[in-house]
Structure 1
């Protein structure tokens, strides 16, 4: 009904006008009745009224539609403004000169500068002086190549004087002549990422140094083995001849010498293991069976020290690819170290299972004396040991074996609370799947 409101009103107004006109024409002025003139006049007035009302209704509909569109646009603008002001990244707009025309509130959180003092200032003003040349070079090259988008990493100084890193993604807008008309884009804070990359680089450098140390230790081991073993054998032989004809006091001294020679031979044997490439055979093995065998092998020795070796396996079948003999050497070394760290007895717990990343995870936990952080940091260094009769090469060899098996090892220890060694292997089915995928890529 509202749609035809104007037409109804104007037609009624026309009818009222006809009635008034007829009243004045026939009753007041006393003119004679003329049906043809009345019909023509009445039809004309009603048509004009209907047409005017129709235009009025259409105008109202147009005004209403415009009003609704304006409300919708206003609501969309408010929502867009809300999004821009609450997004964590800085959103900006610059003119052709690089002067800020718009900034959201994240700008204040990132830089410490207010939006009011930053608007209409050149964006380069907020970039570190030594970075501006490189920033301009990349930007000018992008403009000369008519690129629509570009990304630049840069450092900047906050209002408080703190240096931070940002990543800017820029959308370049051009006019019809191909000239830069302005830019829009976002700025992300990547300071933490840069610091993590620096730490990773430093860590890689440290690992490279440690790897070089091991390489040098291996080369030294090969030289020591050849240069020392032969004369040591001769010395040992002649000392045995002297012992046969020596008196009791001399024999006592010679026994000390033989004890030290054996210690030298032990060090040489471990150096040879470290230096000499071992013959390894990688195959699919059930690591649970290997751990079971190690636990049973060392349990008798552990009982002598009032220690019980316990096992807890989440699955009975955990397959990895590796050399079983080498891995047994690692596990035996870890359990022996645990036994030696428990002079007052206790429990050693060996656990195995699949972790949340679908990797085979083993742990060796003791209730021993634990280690200080300074000792933990040096674990695995050649010739570093806390034992009075140790060579400092056992754990170094274990780490090399685990590295050859692409395994990760981590150590947690607290003084007086014991130590836990955790080892993570890639599951056999995962390795086999990757190998198949690589083969398919080749073909």
Structure 2
């Protein structure tokens, strides 16, 4: 029984092995068939000379041929350029037995396709096999992406506005040339730094900056303006527009310096105001001057008959009439431009004469005037009396803002851009920032009995001399008026 069982067991094992072998062959054949026919990539079997003997449906679609036509072709017939690169690929294939590479193939319909392929010799039944993948669309998209990136780079680098690319942590990834100039920092020193930290260096409010960052993240965009102190010390207005996650998790910030634009708008407002006030002033001044002339005449006639007891009243009336007359003269200066004669004049000499004229008044107020004039300053094409009026107005103002005394520093020098820079500095209480922009407006004054016309006249005269005035002030420290005048000749 044991022997019989052994025989039966042996018979059963041989039969089982045969069945399993047949089953495995069938599975492998079915698996091969499924993989070959259903594969998304093109599969081609070819002979030693490149003749195509079999191809799947995907290969037929890639080569734009039916199977009947494709098996009449040679793989080499489809290669667009059989150059040294092609010959090297063929040599490597037959030397190594397999290769993976990419070539451009020409289809029967004239279409060119970039095909990535993997070839292996003696793959099945002594035939060679090549698997093809169409990468034309991928190359096209890569080309379009490169072209798009190139266009963006040209726009980015050529833009007149500053541009910054930020990553998700708000660190600078890139900055264009215009941005470097505005920040006055090189790209190498900015890349990798946090934009938030950079803004903090400009003395911005941390809470405001973080609020803007959160708003950008939530809304996807943000527009605004920052007032910053540049590294040169000048106060600048920067307008910005930010877009969150524009592409590849990068955010874009564009910004531009609108300081000059705002200053120009402010100058236009002042100019319009000056025109209106000038027209009004001309009419008022002429209307007042006639009765004023009569009043001064009669006062002079009464001067001899004024009793000693009333001399004080007479002096007050005379003093106030003189003050009214001074205001009328300022009104007339604000009126339409008068005929003035511009000549080449030593601006240093004009300033020296002004300082000498006001020295006595300064001493009475316990004020010292210190001067610093650069040697060899060129002449300025100006109307001397008007320039003297400007200097008188500013130095008198400086004296009056220091009732307890102090120091006035007057300096004159030549700037790098060939202008005369005149500065008049006092040690008064200073002017609040919100009031600085109003200086030069009609009837705006910081003095108790002032009319504001003096500074308005000063601004007008400097403007007519093709110059400019800027003011910087710090509370508790003092104020500096900066006058910039061209010294080349011009005609008005």
Please, what TM-score do these two structures have when normalized by structure 2? 0.47
Structure 2: stretches of 5+ with no match in the other structure: 1-86, 101-141, 155-163, 172-214, 224-239, 243-249
The yes-or-no answer on 1:222 pairing with 2:282 is yes
1:160 aligns to what?
A: 218
Deviation, structure 1 residue 255: 5.3
Task: Classify 1:357/1:241 alpha carbon distance in 2 versus 1 (closer, same or farther; 3 Å).
Answer: closer
1:315 alignment partner, one of 363, 369, 375: 375
Structure 1: stretches of 5+ with no match in the other structure: 1-54, 68-79, 93-104, 113-156, 168-186, 436-443
Task: Classify 1:422/1:206 alpha carbon distance in 2 versus 1 (closer, same or farther; 3 Å).
Answer: closer
**Aligned with 1:216: secondary structure?**
helix
Task: Classify 1:106/1:331 alpha carbon distance in 2 versus 1 (closer, same or farther; 3 Å).
Answer: closer
For each residue in 1:311-356, what CA deviation from the matched residue of structure 2 results, as whole angstroms up to 9, or x when unmatched? Answer: 2233333343322332222122222222222223332222122233
For each residue in 1:44-92, what CA deviation from the matched residue of structure 2 results, as whole angstroms up to 9, or x when unmatched? Answer: xxxxxxxxxxx99x968xx9xx99xxxxxxxxxxxx99xx8xx999569
Number of paired residues?
288
* 1:8-407 aligned within 5 A: 160-161=218-219, 162-163=221-222, 191-193=254-256, 196=257, 203-238=263-298, 256-275=316-335, 277-407=337-467
Deviation, structure 1 residue 363: 1.1
Aligned partners of 1:111, 1:370: CA distance in 2, in Å?
Answer: 39
Greater alpha carbon shift after TM alignment, 254-263 vs 220-229: 254-263
Which structure dedicates a bigger proportion of its chain to helix? 1
Contact 1:111 1:158 in 2 (8 A): no
Aligned partners of 2:309, 2:285: CA distance in 1, in Å?
Answer: 32
Aligned partners of 1:89, 1:295: CA distance in 2, in Å?
Answer: 61
Aligned partners of 1:349, 1:315: CA distance in 2, in Å?
Answer: 17
2:184 aligns to what?
A: none
Aligned partners of 1:400, 1:316: CA distance in 2, in Å?
Answer: 28
Contact 1:219 1:275 in 2 (8 A): yes
Task: Classify 1:188/1:287 alpha carbon distance in 2 versus 1 (closer, same or farther; 3 Å).
Answer: farther
Deviation, structure 1 residue 189: 5.0
Aligned partners of 1:248, 1:300: CA distance in 2, in Å?
Answer: 30
Contact 2:413 2:422 in 1 (8 A): yes
Task: Classify 1:341/1:89 alpha carbon distance in 2 versus 1 (closer, same or farther; 3 Å).
Answer: farther
Aligned partners of 2:308, 2:432: CA distance in 1, in Å?
Answer: 45
RMSD of Structure 2 on Structure 1 (CA): 4.9
Aligned partners of 2:286, 2:375: CA distance in 1, in Å?
Answer: 47
Contact 2:466 2:485 in 1 (8 A): yes
Deviation, structure 1 residue 223: 0.8
Deviation, structure 1 residue 401: 1.0
For each residue in 1:178-200, what CA deviation from the matched residue of structure 2 results, as whole angstroms up to 9, or x when unmatched? Answer: xxxxxxxxx9957423xx45x76
2:41 aligns to what?
A: none
Aligned partners of 1:325, 1:279: CA distance in 2, in Å?
Answer: 13
Task: Classify 1:247/1:89 alpha carbon distance in 2 versus 1 (closer, same or farther; 3 Å).
Answer: farther
Which structure dedicates a bigger proportion of its chain to strand? 2
Aligned partners of 1:88, 1:297: CA distance in 2, in Å?
Answer: 67
Contact 1:363 1:420 in 2 (8 A): yes
Task: Classify 1:202/1:424 alpha carbon distance in 2 versus 1 (closer, same or farther; 3 Å).
Answer: closer
Aligned partners of 1:298, 1:256: CA distance in 2, in Å?
Answer: 23
